[in-house]
Structure 1
Amino acid sequence: MADVEECREALEQLSRNMSQSTGNVRKAASLDRSLSCRITDLDLTFTGRLRDGRIQDVVTTPGPPAEKADIRLTMSSDDLVAMVDGRLNFAAAWAGGRVRLEAGFRDLLRLRTLL
C-alpha cells in the first residue's frame, strides 16, 4: 500500500505530465474544474482545482470529500501510483472497476482524451 506522500507525489507528477502535454490532451487538461481524488485504503481525499493544465491548490483531508467536486476520482493508493507510473492503464482500471470516475457529461467527453 502506498503512503500519503507517495500519493501526493503521484498527483504532482500527474500535474506535471498534464502541463507538458500538447494537442488534444493539452486541450482536455485545460479545464477549470474542482477535483477530488478519494483514496479508499488510506481513508483520505485529495481535493484541488484542475486549472491551466495543472492540478492546483491540493489539500488532503481525512475521510470522504466534504463537498462534491466537478470531477471525482476514487481508487486505491497503489492504483493511483501505478497509473501515474504507467504500469496501470486508466481505461482498463476504470472498465474493471478498480477506478471510479464521476463527472458531468461534457467533462467526461473532454476527459476521454486523457484516458
Structure 2
Amino acid sequence: MANAEECREALEQLSRNMAKSTGDVRQAAALDRSLSCRITDLDLTFTGQLRDGRIQDVVATPGEPTEKAAIRLTMASDDLLALVGGRLNFAAAWAGGRIRLEAGFRDLMRLRTLL
C-alpha cells in the first residue's frame, strides 16, 4: 500500500504528464473543472482544479470528499501509482472495477482521449 505522500507525488506526475501532452490529448486535458481523487485504502481524498492542462491547488483531506467535484476518481493507492507509472491500463482497470470515474457526459467524452 502506497502512502499519502507517494499518492500526492503521483498526482503531481500526472499533472506534469498532462502539461507535456500535445494534440487531442492536450485538448482533452484543457478542461476547467473541479477534480477529486478518493484513495480508498488510505481513507483520503485529494481535491483540486483541472485547469490549463494541469491539476492545480491540490489539497488532501481525510475521508470522503465534502463537495461533489465535476470529475471524480476513486481507486486504491497502489492503483494510482501503477496507473501514473504506466503499469496499469486505465480502460482495463475501469472495466474491471479497480478504478471508478464519474463525470458529466460531455466531460467523459472529452476525457476518453486521455484514456
Instruction: Compute the TM-score of the two structures, normalised by the length of structure 1.
Output: 1.00
Structure-2 separation of matches of 1:32 and 1:73: 16
1:35-85 Cα shifts (integer Å, max 9, x gaps):
000000000000000000000000000000000000000000000000000
Tell me what 2:22 maps to: 22
Structure-2 separation of matches of 1:80 and 1:2: 9
1:92 Cα deviation (Å)? 0.4
Question: 1:65 and 2:100 equivalent?
Answer: no
Percent identity, aligned pairs only? 84
1:14 Cα deviation (Å)? 0.1
**Structure 1: which 5+ residue stretches go unaligned?**
none
Structure-2 separation of matches of 1:3 and 1:44: 10
3-state SS, counterpart of residue 112 of structure 2: helix
1:11-30 Cα shifts (integer Å, max 9, x gaps):
00000000000000000000
Tell me what 2:109 maps to: 109
Structure-2 separation of matches of 1:111 and 1:44: 24
Matches within 5 A, 1:40-79: 40-79=40-79
AA paired with 1:92?
A
Structure-2 separation of matches of 1:56 and 1:91: 24
Instruction: Compute the TM-score of the two structures, normalised by the length of structure 2.
Output: 1.00
Q: Count residues in correspondence.
A: 115
